Chains A and B, each alone.
Chain A
Amino acid sequence: MLSVNVQKRRGVFSLDAQFELPTPGVLALFGRSGCGKSTLVELLAGLLDADSGRISLDGTVLLDKTLGTDIPAERRRIGCVFQDARLFPHLRVGANLRYGAHRSTGKPYVNFDAVIALLGLAPLLSRRCHQLSGGERQRVAIGRALLSQPRLLLLDEPLAALDSARRDEVLPYLEVLRDQLTIPMVYVSHQFDEVLRLATHLVLIDAGKTLAQGDIGAMSLRSELREIIGPEAVGSILEGEIQSIDGLSGLASVAIGSGILKVQSDGHAVGAKLRVQILARDVIVATREPEYLSVRNMLHGKVTAIARDTGEADLVSMDVGGAVIMARITHAATRDLGLAPGDAAWALIKAVSMRGRLFNPGA
């Protein structure tokens, strides 16, 4: 368990953050630029002195201002990956990777060869840092942090300086890290698609305060998240295992709640654990079971809530066999259908509008 409660004033800006992460897990610190995420990262790493508060990780107290405990950054064993990689320019890639390994005091749990293999670093070892692409630099930075055998990996917007092609090149490595190592991670980002792919838990930060927190499925339904990512990006996030794959159509049947969701299999096999985001704007609501439609998913459920969304839209939440799906429909549609909480309804979702991503943390 990572448990954080810190306060810091910097001029007119003040930060007051409280959150917890069950370990191992990936916690996303998510918020707009300038909300205080970077200050929080420096406080966690010990690079900045907190005014007050307490940080503990798996029973070790890293900071407790009332007790006067403050483990310095060099002994906190928190591996950091910065936005600008911060590789040592006078050392080759190999020496950069070994820098933390030589100084690590903890019991080693990942060895050099494993990290090299995991991050595909073998061809880069003898290169100089200025000969690396942006994506390669970040992979080396991740490897360097991992090899210091940290108790926690802190990633401060590691993809923010990369173009989208480079981002897509690095993201799969981070997913592999999450699924193959049991190291807890704190991932700072202002890009929700990164959070969606990586995080198990989400903490929302706004103006230096923690707004809301929880596991990502629950957080996907929260209005505080909607405020930050905007109505277009709102959708429920569900996880499930592939039960079967239709040999003819290639569609995978994923167990979600007590029902089955059909998504494109994207090369994943039966038994794979997937995370699927169903965007509210892609969901159609029917009050009677429709026929003759191309749509692959017609999930029967019950309307649990109807909230006024931005513009002329309503956000309809439906319980479908234990899973909550949201539909963004016009206010006019709600009125014409006479929708009200408690009504039976069908949620219609096109299989092509969703993409399942492998999600199997700490496996």
Chain B
Amino acid sequence: MTWLSPSEIDALTLSLAVASRSVLWGLPPAVFMAWLLTRRRFLGHAALDALVHLPLVLPPVAVGYLLLLIFGTQGPVGGWLLRSLDIRLIFTRNGAALATAVMSFPLMVRAMRISLETIDRGLEDAARTLGAGPLDRFATVTLPLMLPGIIAGAITAFAAGLGEFGAVITFVANIPGETRTLPLALYTALQSPGGDAGAARLAIVSLSLGLGGLLLSEWFSRRVRRMLGR
């Protein structure tokens, strides 16, 4: 990869690390949230649904600012994390992953809800009559049948996460090697004199990653659907 400069390679690997971490963290709560919003009716359902989707409609900078308020060293959660677990989120790659996870969370939940809605509830009833309790049913019937949605959601979130800009730069700033991900490096290159060539290279990398992610997601879900005979 001599084509990219060392700092550009840093930005690329950092982006990959941040995006995969954000997907890893976001996946379990997204599965739970998709299940909760699809299968349960409760007071505050609509409010929770709106809250989950908020990052889609809010300016990313606003999300980053909110994260700063909550997870900053003075914030209620951030302060506690720092004091009791010595975990610091702002200005770190973990913080970048958190901001990315929050931004791509609705994408994951949406993809999973769609696949959850197509599952025949009768299959879960059948599992029940065969002796499977609630968790057993979820793990052996619901979850495997949700797989197309989970994969599609994860890959889309990963691809989107590679490009998260506003929330990341607001929450964890633009520190080379720690929080300067691809889009941040691209932005920095554009701001610096003579950085046009670098910006072009980073744009090409971003483009190919995004495109590859979307194609991969489509290919995966088609494969799984064929396996399930749909």
Contact = CB atoms under 8 A, between A and B. Distances in A.
A80 B127 contact: no
Nearest to A45: B129
B129 A99 contact: no
A72 B120 CA distance: 20
A74 B131 contact: yes
Given A74-B128, A99-B127, A103-B131, A89 B228 contact: yes
B228 A86 contact: no
B132 to A, nearest CB: 6
Dominant secondary structure of chain B at its interface with chain A: helix
Nearest to A76: B129
B130 A130 contact: no
Given A82-B122, A84-B122, A130-B229, A73 B129 contact: yes
Interface in B108-136: 120, 122-123, 125-133, 136
A126 interface: no
B227 interface: yes
Given A82-B122, A86-B120, A90-B144, A74 B129 contact: yes
Q: How large is the interface on B (under 10, 10 to 19, 20 to 34, 35 or more residues)?
A: 20 to 34
B127 A88 contact: yes
A89 B144 CA distance: 10
Interface in B131-162: 131-133, 136, 140-141, 144-145, 147
A104 B131 contact: yes
A89 B131 contact: no
B131 A47 contact: no
A127 to B, nearest CB: 11
Top 7 A-B pairs, shortest CB-CB distance: A130-B229, A100-B130, A103-B131, A86-B126, A80-B129, A90-B144, A73-B128
Interface of B: 120, 122-123, 125-133, 136, 140-141, 144-145, 147, 227-230
Given A45-B129, A75-B131, 11 more contacts: A47-B128, A73-B129, A79-B130, A88-B123, A90-B147, A100-B131, A105-B131, A129-B229, A130-B228, A145-B130, A148-B131
14 contacts: A45-B129, A73-B125, A78-B129, A79-B129, A86-B126, A88-B127, A89-B123, A90-B145, A90-B147, A99-B140, A128-B227, A130-B228, A130-B229, A131-B229
Interface of A: 45-47, 72-80, 82, 84, 86, 88-90, 99-100, 103-105, 128-131, 144-145, 148
